[in-house]
Structure 1
């Protein structure tokens, strides 16, 4: 599979090849098309459903300290601050600020490889 990765990364760089890069939470979401009365097509991302969350395994626990932010945690755990959404999905929360708004809160952080049934690795 390592042979495919460079090609997939190259495809992400081509405008219009796919609306979302592989690192986006929307990469595997189905794209819908709405046709307006005047014939104009509007593309949109269909609803993104979270995979079932595992009870144990596949996640580490992190105790939030004062001043932490989701993007800083993503940088720490994944090496990419843009991957904060993986931590939000693992807890799950709608507002990522909820993850770190209370010092002492224990949150779940997915391990590399993602959750079973997610369809995409978590970095």
Structure 2
């Protein structure tokens, strides 16, 4: 259902039968891993006009992997990580 690099790739699917008899297949909720369980390999300083996808492209090698950095920093809103220039952003080890 999802690309193997997606944050949703390993989630289970579930089904729901509606009152009118339709079956809806959906992906179960994703819970981010605990921040202290993620191995950190670097920290980078946010510069203006950095975006998380640009940081991911430079550090992780793929812009669409921005969610790994958000997880490593405990950010539910990835935009919060680049809102303040000068802040440090933790970069996770590959595959974390």
Both proteins in one fold, TM over 0.5: yes
Write the distance in 1 (CA, Å) between the matches of 2:24 and 2:64: 26
Q: Out of 21, 39, 44, which is 1:39 matched to?
A: 21
Tell me the C-alpha RMSD between the 2 structures.
1.5
Task: State the TM-score, normalizing by the size of structure 1.
Answer: 0.71
Query: How many residue pairs are counted as aligned between the two chains?
Result: 95
Write the distance in 1 (CA, Å) between the matches of 2:8 and 2:95: 17
Q: Out of 41, 63, 78, which is 1:96 matched to?
A: 78
Matches within 5 A, 1:1-123: 19-54=1-36, 58-59=39-40, 60-114=42-96
Secondary structure of 1:54 counterpart: helix
Write the distance in 2 (CA, Å) between the matches of 1:37 and 1:99: 42
Task: State the TM-score, normalizing by the size of structure 2.
Answer: 0.89
| Structure 2 residues without counterparts, runs of 5 or longer | none
Higher relative contact order (CA 8 A, sep 6+): 2
Write the distance in 1 (CA, Å) between the matches of 2:16 and 2:55: 37
Write the distance in 2 (CA, Å) between the matches of 1:43 and 1:77: 35
| Structure 1 residues without counterparts, runs of 5 or longer | 1-18, 115-123
